């Protein structure tokens, strides 16, 4: 099973990704986690690509699609992805969609489904403001949260359309208790994939 999970900030992608991966016995691959891991990597043991990414991140630069695609290709080439995977945080651009299609085609596979967590924007803002208060995240104020929501919509609307046009987009209500949302996701995926 080869899956993507998408959704606006605060929709619980990371939490649900872990649950989906555990449920279907596939690895959850978060590009955010990969990049954070690279940033902390020991320079003596890091690959040339990891060092390049680390330097870009330390300088505050943007990791290009080309480099991001290379990192994802390396990760998808690892043995634990042979039976499938769940990608979280990738692809984010049309170029990355094309690169992922090519990577999968080279391996004789394709995406099975794209889970899109859907949620009311005001509900998500409230959720994130609550989290910011609990975790002491001073940078998470309503203005920055709403800006991130807008950026998500701008960047992903076209990608969601691509996957909807392919007939593999599975929209799921992302609001509710973690287990409740998880059950909705499993039911929607099982129905979509005839399991």
Catalytic residue among 131, 147, 161, 166: 131
Residue 179 CA, chain-centre distance (Å), reads 19
Select from 24, 31, 21, 26 the least CA-distant residue to 82: 26
CB-based contact 136:21 (threshold 8 Å): no
Q: Is there a catalytic annotation at residue 131?
A: yes
Q: Is there a catalytic annotation at residue 18?
A: no
9 DSSP 8-state letter: T
Q: Distance (Å, rounded) from C-alpha 126 to C-alpha 131?
A: 9
Bridge partners, 118 (sequence order): 173
- Count the Cβ atoms, other than its own, within 10 Å of residue 120: 12
3-state secondary structure of 18: helix
Q: Is there a catalytic annotation at residue 13?
A: yes
Catalytic residue among 18, 127, 146, 148: 148
Q: Distance (Å, rounded) from C-alpha 143 to C-alpha 145?
A: 5
Q: Distance (Å, rounded) from C-alpha 146 to C-alpha 129?
A: 11
Bridge partners, 88 (sequence order): 5, 30
Catalytic residue among 92, 127, 146, 192: 92
Catalytic residue among 54, 75, 127, 137: 137
The residues annotated with a catalytic role in the active site are 13, 92, 131, 137, 148
């Amino acid at each position: 099973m080869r899956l993507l999970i998408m959704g606006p900030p605060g929709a619980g992608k990371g939490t649900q990704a872990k649950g989906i991966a555990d449920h279907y016995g596939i690895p959850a691959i978060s590009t955010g986690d990969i990049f954070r891991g690279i940033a902390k990597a020991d320079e003596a043991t890091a690959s040339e690509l990891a060092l390049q990414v680390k330097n870009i991140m330390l300088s505050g630069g943007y990791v290009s699609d080309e480099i991001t695609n290379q990192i994802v290709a390396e990760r998808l080439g690892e043995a634990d992805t042979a039976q499938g995977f769940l990608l979280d945080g990738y692809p984010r651009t049309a170029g990355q969609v094309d690169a992922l299609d090519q990577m999968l085609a080279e391996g004789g596979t394709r995406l099975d489904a794209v889970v899109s967590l859907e949620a009311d924007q005001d509900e998500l803002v409230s959720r994130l403001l609550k989290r910011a208060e609990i975790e002491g995240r001073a940078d998470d104020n309503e203005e920055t949260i709403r800006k991130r929501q807008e950026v998500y919509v701008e960047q992903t609307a076209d990608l969601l359309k691509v996957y909807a046009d392919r007939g593999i987009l599975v929209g799921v209500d992302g609001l509710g208790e973690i287990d409740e949302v998880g059950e909705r996701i499993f039911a929607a995926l099982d129905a979509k994939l005839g399991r």
